[in-house]
Structure 1
Amino acid sequence: MIDHDQVQAALSARLDGEPSPLDDDVVDAHLTGCAQCRQFQEEAVALSRRLRFIEPADGGMAPPDLSELIIAGVEPEWRRTANSRMVGLAVSRILLIVAGLIWVVWGVQLLGDAGGLTPVSDDGVVALDSDPRTASLLVDAAAFRLSLALGLFTIAWKPRLVSGLVTVVAALWTFMFGFVVRDLVLDTVAGPQLVGLGLLLFTAVGMVWTWLNHHGYVTLRAVWRELAAKPV
């Protein structure tokens, strides 16, 4: 059973143009037999009419519309920022494609080298001087490079996916850097190691740049503020 508060709340919502919690038929039926709610309705309607005709203290002048002025001041800066991000994102995507092509070429070269280590005679027999262990290592290295290239091509196509791979590449570079430092100390470092380290660093920088241009530098500043914030 409905009470006076529910009916009066429905009447207020009706006057304000808001959705009523009760059907109009239910409210009207209640009003026919309730003097208290009819009085509430009359007072609410009278108050609404008085408020509608109250003139502002400044003589009825409406405040100036500043929306166009605000938009005119903000839009040029927004356009410059958006254009800068679009150019930066385009350049970073090109860099990712270039890095991916380099990884593909390197991977294909390793596959060719692996095939040369396991020569097969016309009878289908592997030669005695073959080196299947080294060939297997080269195939694994080629698979890593081709997989990384596929990831770079995917990120260049969908930059929003860069967050899932940038940490992996950063971890790979960190481990490779440690091994290169060790080999430098032992004087056993090889040229391909340095090339791989530099190419991996180039790839990581391109991915970070893609992330910044896609998400915006505002996100980076917000993350920095959260990290530097002091606990309350």
Structure 2
Amino acid sequence: MECDVAREALSARIDGEREPVPSARVDEHLDTCADCRGWLQQVTTQSARLRMLAAEPPLAAVSHEPHARTHRTRRPLRDWRRTALLAVGVTQVAVAAAQGVGLNLGLAQHHGMAVSGHLLNESTAWSLALGVVMIVAAIRPAAAAGLAGVLSVFAGVLGAYVVIDAMDGAVTAARVLTHLPVVLGAILAVLVWRRTVTPGPEQRAAESEPDIVLPHNASRGRRRGHLWPTDGSAA
């Protein structure tokens, strides 16, 4: 009997499957082939290790993923991105509150017309909402994805209007400074979002794959732990 046929049969035997050749012939071959006996010992050890990994409790498997554990347990005060986003969110809420109680905050009159009361109220409500969501995203990073998209678009459009209004003399330097938390919030939201992105199923599987050295002339089969000869079935 050739070694590749014997090893295919032994691999099936380990997995509890039907052997392609009579087991007695396989045993006779093992008695006379030291290479196949060594191969069988290696495969048996690897198969036992795979079964132990498959039977490992989920909590124990999580303990082997330091990056995932870090993302779950990271607190705002231990991540400068989230701490900064929290501070910017509080600042944005303070700016909105100051504007809401009637402080001017650099609002300029354009062509003799002051900002209307309702438009000012809308601006205050929007500024307050942005500040609150920044604080929420700093505490719960899952919300940073949506916040990053909204703030990025808003900061881009707002920046264009600031340039246009500054050229027209319709905005003051003090008012421009009140927009700084929005720009910083957009940058920090993107950083927090990118920091907390979880890997996909394929990437997690690749990272958690145990470092198993296959015996000579063997490759991974269709099922985990089943080893097949590299030249296919010879039965």
TM-score bucket (shorter structure)? 0.5 to 0.7
Give the TM-score of the pair, scaled to structure 1.
0.52
* SS of the residue 1:208 aligns to: helix
Is the 1:113–1:138 contact (alpha carbons within 8 Å) kept by the matching residues of 2?
no
Greater C-alpha radius of gyration: 1
- Pick closer, same or farther for the CA change 1:209–1:47 going to 2, 3 Å: same
Match of 1:135? 117
Q: Taking CA–CA contacts closer than 8 Å with sequence separation of 6 or more, which of the two structures ends up with the larger relative contact order?
A: 2
Residue 201 (structure 2) pairs with residue 208 (structure 1): no
Letter in 2 for 1:109: A
Matching residue within 104, 129, 143 for 1:147: 129
Taking every aligned residue pair, what percent have the same amino acid on both sides? 19
Distance 2:127 2:101 in 1: 14
Matches within 5 A, 1:82-231: 86=74, 90-113=79-102, 134-215=116-197
Matching residue within 11, 35, 38 for 1:58: 35
Letter in 2 for 1:183: D
Letter in 2 for 1:97: L
Which has the larger displacement, 90-99 or 182-191? 182-191
**Total equivalences in the alignment:** 157
Give unpaired runs (5+ residues) of structure 1: 1-12, 19-40, 68-77, 115-130, 223-232
Distance 1:213 1:91 in 2: 11
Q: Could you give the per-residue CA deviations for residues 191-232 of structure 1, whole angstroms, max 9, x where no partner exists?
A: 24421332211001110110121117x89xx9xxxxxxxxxx
Matches within 5 A, 1:1-80: 17=16, 47-51=22-26, 54-55=29-30, 57-58=34-35, 60-61=37-38, 62-63=41-42
Give unpaired runs (5+ residues) of structure 2: 1-11, 50-64, 104-112, 204-235
Give the superposition deviation at 1:52: 5.7
- Pick closer, same or farther for the CA change 1:54–1:200 going to 2, 3 Å: farther
Structure with a larger share of its residues in helix: 1
Give the TM-score of the pair, scaled to structure 2.
0.52
